[in-house]
Chain A
Amino acid sequence: MAVRVQEADFDVGAELDRLTTGNRRIGGLAVFVGLVRAMHVREDYHKDRVDALTLEHYPGMTEKALTAIVDEAKSRWNIIDCTVIHRYGELKPADPIVLVVVASAHRGDAFAACEFLMDYLKTRAPFWKKEETAEGARWVEAKSSDDLAAERWKR
């Protein structure tokens, strides 16, 4: 299991290779790659172009939080291995921002755990996005839909 918080870009192919090399029990990988959107999705902001994004995080807590989320996923599904990489610092539209890969014997566990990891990561890992637009910088507000997405995994 690997959790990394880094400024640098990541190579998805290399990360998949690293997970699968030498592990013949793996039957499949579920992969999610999050990208920086160039447009705001909220209707009233649809004309605002996002020129750049700065991600702040809380060094030390971020790694702890991500590791706790991975541990939670491992307790719920049969996961052989997984990788979570989240970037911080300055990013441009279309830049990869987050990678979640889950390796398991069967697709059901991989798909479910991958979605769970993303939902929990959004609501439990200390990252904050600041958007640079033509009208200046603004901190992105948390979305209630993200809370609802995380809520459905409660048990």
Chain B
Amino acid sequence: MKVRYFAWMKRTVGVPEEDVEPPAAVRTVGDLVTWLRARSPGHAEALAEGAAFGAAVDKRTATFDVVLADAREVAFFPPFTGG
């Protein structure tokens, strides 16, 4: 699956996107966050517990309890500041 990062999270993680193959035990968005934290100190910082960020699964806003199932793209981003 492809994981994408936006705004400052891109810089903190170090890459704008990456292809990952999480193990079967990673079922939800929240599981994925926990699993991604172990990839690098940048991941751990950007996706830290208590950090203000949201997620989308296949371009739809998703809460952390959403099941990934056969998701192709998961995105993480800071709160929106458009308008």
- Give the interface of A toward B (CB within 8 A): 34, 55-58, 60-61, 64-65, 86, 97-98, 118, 121-130, 139-143, 146
Please classify the interface of chain A as helix (H, G, I), strand (E, B), loop, or mixed, using the class held by over half of its residues.
mixed
Q: B6 contacts A56, CB within 8 Å?
A: yes
> Do B78 and A128 touch across chains, with their CB atoms under 8 A apart?
yes
State whether the Cβ of B35 lies closer than 8 Å to any Cβ in chain A: no
Q: With A58-B59, A126-B6, A130-B7 in contact, do A140 and B81 touch (Cβ < 8 Å)?
A: yes
Give the complex CA separation of A123 and B8 in angstroms: 18
6 CB contacts below 8 A, A to B, read A58-B77, A61-B59, A125-B80, A126-B80, A128-B80, A142-B78
Q: Are B80 and A124 in contact (CB under 8 A)?
A: yes
Interface centre among B56, B59, B60, B61 (most CB of A within 10 A): B59
- Tell whether B50 is near chain A: CB-to-CB under 8 Å: no
Q: Which of B60, B61, B83 has the most CB of A within 10 A?
A: B83
Q: Is B82 an interface residue (CB 8 A)?
A: yes
| A57 touching B8 in the complex, CB below 8 Å, given contacts A65-B61, A124-B61, A126-B77 | no
Contact B81–A34 (Cβ < 8 Å): no
A97 CA to B81 CA, complexed, in Å: 12
Interface set, chain B 1-21, CB cutoff 8 A to A: 4, 6-8
Chain A positions within 8 Å of B8 at CB level: 139
**How far is the CB of A71 from the nearest CB of chain B, in Å?**
14
9 more A-B residue pairs beyond the given contacts A97-B83, A128-B81, with a C-beta to C-beta distance below 8 A: A64-B60, A121-B83, A122-B80, A122-B81, A127-B80, A128-B78, A128-B82, A141-B79, A142-B79
Judging by beta carbons under 8 Å apart, are A128 and B83 in contact? no
- Give the distance to chain A from B73, nearest Cβ to Cβ, in Å: 9
Q: Chain B residues with Cβ under 8 A from A126's Cβ?
A: 6, 56, 77, 80, 82
Q: Which residues of B contact A60 (CB under 8 A)?
A: 59
B75: Cβ under 8 A from any A Cβ: yes
A149 to chain B, nearest CB (A): 10
**Given A58-B75, A65-B61, A128-B77; A122-B6 close (CB under 8 Å):** no
